[in-house]
Structure 1
């Protein structure tokens, strides 16, 4: 169980769920031309989860001193799992992820795609070991990598089989995933900043240069509010322009994405304590989940 906590299995389950939604709740109902069979998709899923799990482990290895202050009750490395064992597990997961990615890329006739897994693994290591100390770069990087866990599905599954005959359909489906990728990036970016406010004491001790350390908690709250408003306007724009004629989907976005975002923006003004920011972080995770759960609902547009 300790190793499951170390890899943050709840976050990995969310990644797996979203990729399954994209493959079976979007591609299949819309009749997209795909190259991955069920086994190939499972390989893509496993490779993605291995790289993501490895990133969580190496992050915890480098954050031991900070986590002793920010979340001592959740500290695993050095307490329940030795650093040596954790690092070995990290190496194993990355070898599996890159190896499976290499095999899958060659199996679909796109060997160059294997570089993605190497790059993702390297960036996660750089994030944990060096980039985390650079203002906003760490937030942008980790949010982009989370978003790429969505985009990698159409890249591997529909991009290799695009041709003149199916291009409009393939590109249309790709655009839907791209819109969700942008949503995932923005929500995760906001959440990363909220977590930085929550962890400000430990981050100071670790000599990190996060946004709340650089400009203060109150100003960072204002930036988080503005980003939340941006997420609301983006969601409203998307709902109006793409879902206006599809009542069920429009209502889903209004009640399960836009309404919680409105509450988030309201709540962030009064947030002051670590508990407040923990609740806001969890709210953003729920908004992310609810947003991703709308992917299989797009098949209702076909009726």
Structure 2
């Protein structure tokens, strides 16, 4: 089999890696820098944090595809990369290499801020991605929750490295207040990713049922799973409306942005999920949820106008 190098970009989900990069850059330069809070990383160290994050995430995508060859051959045969464009051996070698690079860079960044204990985060994330691909994804909801937690961690890790090491008696109130904003965005990423993972399971139910998976749609059926996904969607809508009422109501532009680009599309998703079930609909909803996550992260650009007004 002839290796197709460009397919490596597909294998590592380069668009998703760009999303991680964008989210981390926005937290640093659209939230932390304008607010003038005490941060721990200079520009080079922060770029290394981003590089460590995307290396480990890319490794996770590779090992997931290696373990998913049989399922993907049934669900989406035209998108299978392992053993069609790239050998499994090369894929596994890339997985090991990227993990080693990501963990090594994570150690470097932790050492630079004199907090070696934070290095363990990269080891834990790397190990979880492997265990997810090889075992956890087959378990009811556990795999979905693990992936959602890892996406949330890619956002939260900026606050952990930038804010927590710099907390003092004098600035702890400000540092923790800003960390709460980052936590809000991490939780938003968690819940949107969880909904999306459930929707993707609904789309992949045919292949998953033939390969021993125990996902929500396999155990409860598409209709009940759609109700669960809809319930989570409305939980998110209500939470965001409460956030608008308590935090953003004084800023017309921020409120309008959240209503138009996040809350409105989430209501649209809930309507779609309760309609006729088809793989085309599930794929469409999955893409809409990805856009909602992107627009959610882009809302960080509004905070310098909201908080400094």
Superposition TM-score, scaled by structure 1 size: 0.99
Write out per-residue CA displacement over residues 2-42 of structure 1, whole angstroms, 9 at most, x where no aligned residue: 00100000000000000000000000000010110000000
1:266 is matched with which residue? 271
2: CA distance, partners of 1:130 / 1:228: 27
1:220 is matched with which residue? 225
Superposition TM-score, scaled by structure 2 size: 0.97
2:284 is matched with which residue? 279
Selected match of 2:235 from 220, 224, 230: 230
The question of whether the paired residues in 2 share the 8 Å contact of 1:70 and 1:201 is answered with yes
1: CA distance, partners of 2:86 / 2:245: 50
Selected match of 2:162 from 157, 161, 175: 157
Selected match of 2:182 from 168, 172, 177: 177
> Does structure 1 residue 96 correspond to structure 2 residue 98?
no
| Mapping for residues 55-74 of structure 1, pairs under 5 Å | 55-74=60-79
Write out per-residue CA displacement over residues 73-105 of structure 1, whole angstroms, 9 at most, x where no aligned residue: 000000000000000000000000000001111
> Does structure 1 residue 189 correspond to structure 2 residue 194?
yes
2: CA distance, partners of 1:189 / 1:165: 38
2: CA distance, partners of 1:234 / 1:175: 15
- Structure 1: which 5+ residue stretches go unaligned? none
Return the offset for 1:165.
Answer: 1.2
1:200 is matched with which residue? 205
RMSD of aligned C-alpha atoms? Answer: 0.7
Selected match of 1:119 from 121, 124, 130: 124
Selected match of 1:23 from 19, 28, 38: 28
Selected match of 1:83 from 76, 83, 88: 88
Write out per-residue CA displacement over residues 31-64 of structure 1, whole angstroms, 9 at most, x where no aligned residue: 0101100000000000000000000000000000
Write out per-residue CA displacement over residues 226-271 of structure 1, whole angstroms, 9 at most, x where no aligned residue: 1111110011011111111122111111111111111111111114
